[in-house]
């Protein structure tokens, strides 16, 4: 699909590996420089940035909709959360999030199977033009392109990297895609309300996560029932304003 990882390319293309490696190194070096600039920009604005990764259909958007319901404005001047959404096509997820009251901007990548730091940099200007500058946010979530391979290599300038593992995917995904899970600060086991129906072995999944990402905090959640949402908010250092009553 993309020229960086050569996914979908014939095996014969591997004979040019040294040339491709050199190009990949230059691309990553450029990306890392922009990511460092992004990180400085985020820090200056006092905004925490979460890079959210997973395979397609694991529940990223549904989880963000649930978080939007749980969060109340932390102050009168700042919005608790905005989202930059990456997808190959359509703006479906951004429209869903805006309907949930979340400022959301879509990045349509075409054939690129990941977001890059430069894309995020440009999106920040677009958010500003839409009336949502960084200075008005507490947290910016980058909902990355659904993929457990390519996005792992690209630093976006985030404060935290969060990886979702849906119970519908099975327990072995951390072993099959170790680079993505190894980079995680938090691993979210999502769709927990479907675990019994799927025969999901939660202790085994946790052992697999711990094997490849011993540093990661593991949180089990259900966007539908609300299970684990309070623990997830704490793991993401996001505040939950109690309902008066």
How many structural domains are present in the chain?
1
Q: Domain for residue 8, yes or no? A: no
User: Sign of dihedral through CA atoms 119, 124, 127, 128?
Assistant: negative
| The pLDDT value given to residue 15 | 41
Q: What is the DSSP letter of 147?
A: -
Give, for all 245 residues of the chain, the pLDDT tens digit.
455 554 444 444 444 555 556 656 778 999 999 999 999 999 999 999 999 999 999 999 999 999 999 886 555 557 889 999 999 999 999 999 999 999 999 999 998 999 999 999 999 999 999 999 999 999 999 999 999 999 999 999 999 999 999 999 999 999 999 999 999 999 999 999 999 999 999 999 999 999 999 999 999 999 999 999 999 999 998 754 443 33
The pLDDT value recorded for residue 212 is 98
- Cβ atoms of 143 and 52 within 8 Å: the answer is yes
pTM over 0.75: yes
Per-residue pLDDT at 158:
98
Q: Are 114 and 144 in contact (CB under 8 A)?
A: yes
> Which structure tokens are listed for 198?
């799927």
Give the C-alpha separation, 200 to 5, whole Å: 31
State residue 103 phi and psi, 5-degree precision.
Answer: -60, 125
| Whole-angstrom distance, CA of residue 79 vs CA of residue 59 | 23
Tell me whether residue 10 is in a domain: no
Please tell me the predicted confidence (pLDDT) of residue 25. Answer: 77
The answer to whether residue 140 sits within a structural domain is yes
Q: Give CA–CA dist 107/64, Å, rounded.
A: 17
pLDDT at residue 11, rounded to an integer: 41
In this prediction, residue 238 carries a pLDDT of 79
Which among 185, 187, 204, 192 has a CA at the least distance from the CA of 54? 187
3-state SS, 182-241, equals: HCCCEEEEECHHHHHHHCCCHHHHHHHHHHHCCCCEEEECCCCCCCCHHHHHHHCCCCCC
Quickly count: other Cβ atoms within 10 Å of residue 239's Cβ. Answer: 15
Cα distances from 137 to residues 49, 65, 117, 143, 156, in angstroms, run: 10, 17, 19, 16, 18
**Structural domain for 76, as ranges:** 16-235
CATH of the domain at 122: 3.40.50.300
Cα–Cα distance, 174 to 127 (Å, whole number) = 34
Q: At 14, phi and psi to the nearest 5?
A: -65, -15
Residue at 193 is within a domain: yes
Residue 5 belongs to some domain of the structure: no
Which tens digit of pLDDT belongs to each residue from 110-155? 989 999 999 999 999 999 999 999 999 999 999 999 999 999 999 9
Count Cβ atoms below 10 Å from residue 3 Cβ, excluding itself.
13
113 inside domain: yes
**Concatenated DSSP letters for 14-25?**
GGGHHHHHHHHH
Using CA atoms, how far apart are residues 29 and 224, in angstroms rounded to an integer?
A: 40
- Residue 137 half-sphere exposure toward CB, CA atoms < 13 A: 26
Residue 7 belongs to a domain: no
In the prediction, which pLDDT does 6 show?
46
- The predicted pLDDT at position 20 comes to 58
Residue 167 belongs to some domain of the structure: yes
């Amino acid at each position: 699909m993309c020229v960086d990882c050569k996914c979908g390319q014939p095996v014969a293309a591997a004979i040019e590996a040294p040339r491709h490696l050199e190009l990949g190194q230059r691309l990553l070096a450029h990306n890392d420089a922009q990511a460092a600039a992004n990180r400085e920009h985020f820090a200056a604005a006092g905004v925490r940035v979460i890079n959210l990764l997973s395979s397609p259909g694991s529940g990223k958007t549904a989880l963000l909709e649930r978080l939007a319901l749980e969060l109340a404005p932390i102050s009168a001047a700042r919005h608790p959360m905005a989202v930059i959404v990456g997808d190959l096509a359509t703006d479906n997820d951004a429209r869903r999030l805006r309907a949930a009251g979340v400022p959301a901007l879509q990045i349509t990548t075409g054939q690129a199977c990941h977001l890059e730091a430069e894309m995020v940099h440009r999106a920040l200007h677009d958010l500003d033009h839409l009336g949502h500058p960084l200075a008005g946010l507490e947290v910016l979530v980058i909902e990355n392109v659904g993929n457990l391979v390519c996005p792992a290599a690209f630093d976006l300038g985030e404060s935290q990297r969060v990886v979702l593992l849906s119970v519908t995917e099975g327990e072995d995904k951390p072993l099959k895609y170790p680079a993505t899970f190894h980079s995680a600060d938090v691993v979210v086991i999502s769709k927990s309300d479907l675990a019994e129906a799927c025969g999901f072995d939660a202790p085994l999944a946790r052992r697999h996560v711990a094997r490849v990402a011993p540093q990661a905090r593991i949180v089990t959640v259900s966007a539908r029932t609300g299970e684990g949402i309070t623990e997830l908010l704490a793991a993401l250092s996001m505040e939950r304003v109690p309902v008066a009553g």
